[in-house]
Structure 1
Amino acid sequence: MTGKSGDLGRLNNKAPGSGEEVNGGAGVNARTINKTVRTTCPYCGVGCGVLATPQADGTVAIAGDETHPANFGRLCSKGAALGETLSVEDRLLHPEIDGERADWDTALDRVAQEFSEAVRQHGPDSVAFYVSGQILTEDYYVANKLMKGFIGSGNIDTNSRLCMASSVAGHRRAFGSDTVPGTYEDLETCDLLVLTGSNLAWCHPVLFQRIEAAKAQNPQMRIVVIDPRETATCALADLHLALKPDTDVALFNGLLAFLAETDALDRAYVAAHTHGFDEALAASGPCEINRIARETGLAPRDLATFYTMVARTEKTVTVYSQGVNQSVTGTDKVNAIINTHLATGRIGRPGMGPFSVTGQPNAMGGREVGGLANTLAAHMSIENPDHRALVREFWQSPSIAEKSGLKAVDLFRAVRAGKIKALWIMATNPVDSLPDADGVADALKKCPFVVVSDVTRATDTAAYADVLLPAAAWGEKNGTVTNSERRISRQRAFLERPGEVRPDWWQVTEVARRMGFAQAFDYDGPASVFREHAALSGYGNNGLRAFDISALKHVSCAEFDRLNPLQWPQSQDRTQQEQTRFFAGGGFFTQDRKAVLVPVRTTEPRKQGRQYPFVLNTGRIRDQWHTMTRTGKSPRLSAHIAEPYAELHPVDAKKLGLSAADLVEVKSPFGTVMLRAQVTERAQPGSIFVPMHWTDQVSSQGRVDAVVAPETDPVSGQPGSKLTPVALRRLVFDWYGFAILRKKPEKLEADYWSVAPTSGGWRVEMAGSAAQDPALLARRHLGGDAKLARFEDRCAGLLRVAGWSDTGLAGAFFIAGEPVAVSRQWACSLLTDPFLSAADRLKVLAAGPSADMPDKGAIICSCFQVGNKDIETAMAEGAVTVQAIGSRLKAGTNCGSCRSEIQSILDAHGKEDVHETDIAQAG
């Protein structure tokens, strides 16, 4: 797979006084045509190895690294399309102050001055950093060191708070440390795999592929999926438990009681290596199947089946992710799961254990260096005075934060209240990603001084910056990341940095020097930061802390450049080097080295009430990432789902008078979004699912986190993004439209709009009032020089306008009195058609494919652009299995993420056809 690298205009400007390694060291960052660089994917926490090879034509060939132990050559649709996301057109290339271009010295002086002055006048807790699981471990390390060890405040938190803070809290309560006990191999070698709150097929596709392959090799392997929705992951499940939202504690407490009552415990392990079993069992209550069924909404038979499967299967792994973590009871959910593994001794041995899958590429690296407001570097505890003294001694710092800082939601509340005078946001977009997102925007508007370092100014957060700092992007950065199984991998640069772009670690270091801490931040590159990070991990450790990579504290720059993926621990004396799992024989990191079974009690989920009778659940979709600053550049990734949508059950749709493709308003006390309705039985009645990715950059009102309640788990501080009470109503407009345009529209005069890239241009969904004349809208966006052709049927409310310039089709608008029933994929293909004759041009106004322009239908396979109509044609010709479809069309043979959707089409074959446009289809 290749994609434009955007190499034109790339300038390899060395930062003054920064050392050679700013540019990658030894020419690593210099463009070397056809030289393959081993690096690591910048998306989810699987941590896949990637081979990047710059080509002579300005593209970059992307392939999976067959030698990397996370993916063994596999890539998902997002990873495979990385080459298409490297353009520089939207890049932030120079520092800016108050919207005006500035040089680095002026910008860095301003940042250092504002932070120093705020600390002088208002104290260290008047400033804060909000960082990201997208930055590298070395970036994270220096930012944490500056804030906690030299400014002296705990006010550095990360967007990882939004995805895995409850796992950190649960691990620390149970194990005494934030330690993931197992490895990816356990997911393949277990006999029972429980996936709870994890749509692995879409959110961690390569892990899902590994599990698919393992199940094919071991047909006795059983998979249970616990999720209110019927997700793509359910295609592999032997049992799907569609529990009511936020009832996981009731489910796993019931399991603990069942294990005790059926004598399925490992009493020897419990006695030798744990505390708190009796208290945890008492909190769980008796295993009353009918009661638990009422609490969870599950059938008693399914509950009994699940409990029996776990009781009888020693090699059990429980994988959990955001569906567990993103809850106001998330930490209790994590401990309820861990309790079942501790009680059975199923932990730390091959094929068994609890396993937290992280959402971001370096969420784990951030945890290692204390990126969270309530932790210190090297997995040390900010509340532990011995740890504080040790870190301060190692850093030789003037002060150390003595208490936890403000966690993400509370941090922005403090900004809004005027308590934070200077804020630095790095590589994240809180105006879109935090709950009560409109409140976050208001907070930034009121903050006296805001710094944003990012790769692009095209984010909703960048608009609030007093100083914008251009950061290095994937492909230009040099350092390390850690994946979900504790494996450290290198991200290596294979592109020159454009303009005056600089790495995050360098930016923080330069500010620290200007604040008077030059000696402590005397780094000449990421390798020197890594060496210090490794040395701190072993400092005063003596086996007392799980995280230890001190064997790497003397790694040379050349060795750092060559560093192969490795799993921690890697202690200096090598005693732990071969240990890939933790806790099979105890050895926890509590004071007495025993684990704690934490008593957790079932609580009632948040009440909805009459005003807000539905439950909003948010999450990711298959082909997009976070707020789409990277994936949103790829037409291939946008082809699957091109606009924000609300997934709801047919029963709810009927009550609301909604049909598929209608527009719907989702409202809470905090905000409102406008979305396309997707009616499907995959949803649970009373529950609405909305993806998290859309922003004001690409939609009129699709920022779903503006609706999400800012309620958090009292232990972890993680927001409950999976359950917000909301109201729904159908929206009616005077006209609806779909457009294809050669140029991206700067502004759309419509009440509703959503824009996405497509091959040759842009695709646009619209709806509006009579006051917004769609004919004028079409003429305005087709350009003054275009020759227009028009078809109108006023009785039917139809209007079609197309325009041509000397270079081909400028665009076309399809307008109707209801959601436009035109094939989106066919229409998008018009932008790449030459349209040489007048007859050819009339095909556009026909608003439908002709025999010589077949319609693919809604895209199912992003990798090979295979649509549902392609699959239906192949089925009619005899391809009636996923494998046969793959052989004929290649669909499902690359990343494999679409195989469950192909199976759904096969399963529906022969059923009564239901007419659908492919507006907002989600597969």
Structure 2
Amino acid sequence: MTEQWQPSACILCECNCGIQIQLGADGRSFDKIRGDKLHPTSAGYTCNKALRLDHYQNGRTGRLTAPLRRRPDGTFEEIDWDTAIGEISARLTEIGDRYGRETLFYYGGGGQGNHLGGAYAPATLATYGVRYRSSALAQEKTGAFWVSARMLGTPVRAEVEHAEVAVFIGKNPYQSHGFPRARTILKQMGRDPRRSIVVIDPVRTETAELADFHLQLRPGTDVYLLAAMAAILVRDNLIAADWLAAHTDGLAEVLDVLRAVPIEKYCATADVDLELVTAATHRIARAASVSVLEDLGVQMNRHSTLVSYVGSMLWLLTGHFAEPGSQYAFSGLVPLGHDRGHPADTGPRSPVAGARIVSGLVPCNVISEEILTDHPARYRAMLIETANPAHSLADSHRMRAALAALDLVVVIDVAMTETARLADYVLPAPTQFEKYEATFFNLEFPRNIFHLRHPVVPAPAGVLPEPEIHARLVEAAGLLGEDDYAPLRAALEQGRQAFAFAFLGVVADPAKAKLAPVLLYRTLGPTLPGDAAAAAVLWAAAHNCVRKYPAGVEKAGYGTGFEAGEALFEAILSGAHGIVITDDEHDASWERVRGGTIHLALPELLAQLANLPEPETDTTAWPFVLAAGERRAFTANTIMRDDGWRTRDASGALHISRADADELGVSAGDTVRLTTQRGSAQVRVEPTDRMRPGHLSLPNGLGLTDSDGGPAAGVAPNELTSYDHRDEWVGTPWHKFVPARLEVCDPERDGAATVVAS
């Protein structure tokens, strides 16, 4: 074992906590992992998951080390990189020429820990004329993005650490995090009598156990409960009238709707005591600072976009924005979550289903509709980068059929995933610890950070980093070559400022501007220290950060103008533990609000709120509601493909209330058949008093195909979900509201666990 500790970051959630890794004697195994005390936000904190990352790097993952091409008989053969790039380029060009460029589709671009390679994808998309794209964000966050864009013109976040009252809606940060040092901060808040936690969640989560107020509502009724809380603020004259008059418009329209909300009825609909709802709402109203954070529990549930809208009223009506411990608008190197905020009847749509495109992303739940049709504009080729839609998107049965119907599927990934097994070509990339890597989840405030992670171990022969793959795809199409690179390299020999002028001259041509990432990679990239060519795109990002957020960059110590951009870029390159990129005053949030005014009234959503129907229930055929994909202590996204990383609940038990378990006559470890409208599976049960009667939960990240091609432990949740169960505005799935039923299994009769499509 080496004595040196190498800095890096966890790759399993958006927080990307800093870690340090000590390698074994073989120079590859992660013998020890600890939190990095030098990381500017996590400061030595980790949860248990980061400590198991050797299973990602060195476990039984089905690692790829050579390009693969599918044979006519369905098996794969290894080919060289030149052949792979040449054939893929030719087929993309052929399909685009024959059917139109709108038939080419891109999915992915990075997960919880790898965005840097995806920053080069726009050059490939421009080269082949790809107009439509999507990613996992389009099954999670686009409702919130659209609401924020409409109201503020910018995405917002919650500063939980300094809030007097923190409100968590469909979120369990004890497991899912969502802000730095989550467990530490939650425990601090729970011990402080001057502060309060409000949790809105049908499950008594670890966070709920620390809360002063747990509103344990009926699954899928969040919009009714939140409407009642907003209406209580209005009824009891608890709104910040002066603040609202100074900073918002549309208040009168909102008040008209909220005054008509039947508070008592909606609390009964949610099955939460009116007095408890009132007490929690009053606690929010009298706080000096309030932060509100929602997550997948509502973003993948009924009325999710409307919930994002009504939930925002808790902090808007009480005037908690752009102050310590409240909501804020963040800076960043690369825009994340931004949308133009088109009204519902305008804006871009997908070519077949006509689905609303938010933040440039086609809703994940309509992708199969865009393929499984005879529409002339249907997608015919799909480039999938570091993503696993065959497993991670709703209705896996249908998604597999959609991939099979395409003329071309190309997958860029580290391992032979469920999606890679369906591809025509598979291009192997380094793991996230074998290359320079970063994420653009730079959402902190007032001190925002960026962490360019350096390689911890060398990549094996035969793989290429994603920037190189994209550069070769662009060059194979003939759009860039040495004639384009030579003038920029010559300018670079005269210094970065000369290079900047030359580069700006080149990208003044709109066609070349779209290829800027590859231009930087091939010219600036080779000059960067430590083979950090992949970081070249961050040079432009650093200068854009200075242009957009000059005060924050200057306060962070980088100066002003061109020199500030260079200083920031150099700090990024050398800051192996992560660096502060901007240090904002709280008033900076107002500078990011479009027009300086928050627009409270969104007519379409107000109309929906004013006409909420009674919740639809079919308790006879489907007496249970399944939450598909719960985050637990030993679950992660599908990049953790070695089941050995789990030291507890290895098969991912179905959580069920003790009352329901008693009624069914099952105990911990017994097997039941779980059936939904889309499929069925046998699964082990774990009765718990955390669940409401009628509510079930399966964890995320299980049911993978193992490295030998056989089934791994647990149930894949999306074998049980439906593509057409989705939000009416942005198409996000209802993974947390899946009608279900249970049957007790006879082990001798029913045999081993199976998953069957309906």
1:247 touches 1:605 (CA, 8 Å); kept in 2? Answer: yes
The equivalent residue for 2:6 is 37
Question: Residue by residue, what CA displacement relative to the aligned partner does 1:283-325 show, whole Å, maximum 9, x if unpaired?
Answer: 3344654212212110122112111211221222222211121
Pairs aligned (count): 659
CA distance in 1, matches of 2:571, 2:39: 18
CA distance in 1, matches of 2:359, 2:8: 37
The equivalent residue for 1:413 is 369
| SS of match in other structure, 1:752 | coil
2:7 touches 2:21 (CA, 8 Å); kept in 1? Answer: yes
Q: CA deviation at 1:52?
A: 2.2
User: For residue 613 of structure 1, what is the amino acid of its counterpart?
Assistant: P
1:317 touches 1:355 (CA, 8 Å); kept in 2? Answer: no
Q: CA deviation at 1:408?
A: 1.6
The equivalent residue for 1:733 is 747
Alignment of 1:592-611 (within 5 A): 593-598=597-602, 599=606, 601=609, 602-608=612-618, 610-611=620-621
Pair 1:633-2:642 in alignment: yes
Q: Unpaired segments of 5 or more residues in structure 1?
A: 3-32, 357-363, 389-400, 571-576, 737-749, 755-923
Pair 1:143-2:151 in alignment: no
Q: CA deviation at 1:233?
A: 1.9
CA distance in 1, matches of 2:616, 2:40: 42
The equivalent residue for 1:505 is 467
Q: CA deviation at 1:699?
A: 4.0
CA distance in 2, matches of 1:299, 1:664: 33
Closer, same or farther in 2 for the Cα pair 1:383/1:163, shift >3 Å?
closer
Pair 1:514-2:485 in alignment: no
Question: Residue by residue, what CA displacement relative to the aligned partner does 1:48-88 show, whole Å, maximum 9, x if unpaired?
Answer: 11112324354333211112232110111111222343216
1:133 touches 1:160 (CA, 8 Å); kept in 2? Answer: no
| SS of match in other structure, 2:411 | strand
Pair 1:266-2:240 in alignment: yes
Closer, same or farther in 2 for the Cα pair 1:354/1:332, shift >3 Å?
farther
Greater shift, 44-53 or 278-287, is seen at 278-287
Alignment of 1:74-473 (within 5 A): 74-87=45-58, 90-98=62-70, 99-131=76-108, 132-134=110-112, 136-147=114-125, 149-180=126-157, 182=158, 186-204=159-177, 207-215=181-189, 218-286=192-260, 288-353=262-327, 368=334, 379=338, 381=340, 406-417=362-373, 419-457=378-416, 459-473=417-431
CA distance in 1, matches of 2:283, 2:329: 18
Q: CA deviation at 1:43?
A: 1.1
| SS of match in other structure, 2:477 | helix
Q: CA deviation at 1:229?
A: 0.9
The equivalent residue for 2:452 is 490
TM-score w.r.t. length of structure 1: 0.66
1:530 touches 1:553 (CA, 8 Å); kept in 2? Answer: no
CA distance in 2, matches of 1:502, 1:515: 19
User: For residue 731 of structure 1, what is the amino acid of its counterpart?
Assistant: C
Closer, same or farther in 2 for the Cα pair 1:303/1:130, shift >3 Å?
same
Alignment of 1:520-531 (within 5 A): 520=515, 521-522=518-519, 523=521, 524=525, 525-531=533-539
| SS of match in other structure, 2:225 | helix
Question: Residue by residue, what CA displacement relative to the aligned partner does 1:533-568 show, whole Å, maximum 9, x if unpaired?
Answer: 34456779999xxxx999775468754321363566
Pair 1:673-2:668 in alignment: no
User: For residue 399 of structure 2, what is the amino acid of its counterpart?
Assistant: V
Select the residue among 47, 61, 75 that pairs with 2:16. 47
2:11 touches 2:113 (CA, 8 Å); kept in 1? Answer: no
Question: Residue by residue, what CA displacement relative to the aligned partner does 1:705-745 show, whole Å, maximum 9, x if unpaired?
Answer: 11112222233332121101122212212179xxxxxxxxx
1:253 touches 1:285 (CA, 8 Å); kept in 2? Answer: no
Q: CA deviation at 1:260?
A: 2.2
**Percent of pairs identical after alignment?**
22
CA distance in 2, matches of 1:492, 1:104: 25
The equivalent residue for 1:578 is 584
Closer, same or farther in 2 for the Cα pair 1:607/1:590, shift >3 Å?
farther
2:674 touches 2:682 (CA, 8 Å); kept in 1? Answer: yes
CA distance in 2, matches of 1:669, 1:445: 23
| SS of match in other structure, 1:116 | helix
1:245 touches 1:605 (CA, 8 Å); kept in 2? Answer: no
2:167 touches 2:292 (CA, 8 Å); kept in 1? Answer: yes
Which has the larger Rg? 1
CA distance in 1, matches of 2:340, 2:700: 32
Q: CA deviation at 1:243?
A: 0.7
Closer, same or farther in 2 for the Cα pair 1:558/1:155, shift >3 Å?
same
| SS of match in other structure, 1:137 | coil
CA distance in 1, matches of 2:122, 2:372: 23
Question: Residue by residue, what CA displacement relative to the aligned partner does 1:640-681 show, whole Å, maximum 9, x if unpaired?
Answer: 111132212233334434333221122222222221122222
Closer, same or farther in 2 for the Cα pair 1:477/1:421, shift >3 Å?
same
Closer, same or farther in 2 for the Cα pair 1:405/1:298, shift >3 Å?
closer
Closer, same or farther in 2 for the Cα pair 1:402/1:617, shift >3 Å?
closer
Give the aligned CA root-mean-square deviation in angstroms. 3.3
Closer, same or farther in 2 for the Cα pair 1:405/1:67, shift >3 Å?
closer
Select the residue among 685, 695, 713 that pairs with 2:727. 713
User: For residue 62 of structure 1, what is the amino acid of its counterpart?
Assistant: I
Alignment of 1:805-824 (within 5 A): none
The equivalent residue for 1:882 is none
Select the residue among 556, 560, 563 that pairs with 2:572. 560
The equivalent residue for 2:25 is 56
| SS of match in other structure, 1:168 | helix
The equivalent residue for 2:502 is none
CA distance in 1, matches of 2:627, 2:358: 37
Higher relative contact order (CA 8 A, sep 6+): 2
1:138 touches 1:526 (CA, 8 Å); kept in 2? Answer: yes
Question: Residue by residue, what CA displacement relative to the aligned partner does 1:370-389 show, whole Å, maximum 9, x if unpaired?
Answer: 7xxxx8xxx464979xxx9x
The equivalent residue for 1:751 is 752
Q: CA deviation at 1:609?
A: 5.2
2:40 touches 2:580 (CA, 8 Å); kept in 1? Answer: no
| SS of match in other structure, 2:278 | helix
Q: CA deviation at 1:617?
A: 0.8
1:318 touches 1:354 (CA, 8 Å); kept in 2? Answer: no
User: For residue 726 of structure 1, what is the amino acid of its counterpart?
Assistant: A
2:14 touches 2:112 (CA, 8 Å); kept in 1? Answer: no
Alignment of 1:759-778 (within 5 A): none
CA distance in 2, matches of 1:732, 1:283: 53
Alignment of 1:696-707 (within 5 A): 696-697=704-705, 698-699=711-712, 702-707=715-720
Alignment of 1:545-556 (within 5 A): 553-554=565-566
The equivalent residue for 1:853 is none
CA distance in 2, matches of 1:498, 1:603: 57
User: For residue 529 of structure 1, what is the amino acid of its counterpart?
Assistant: V
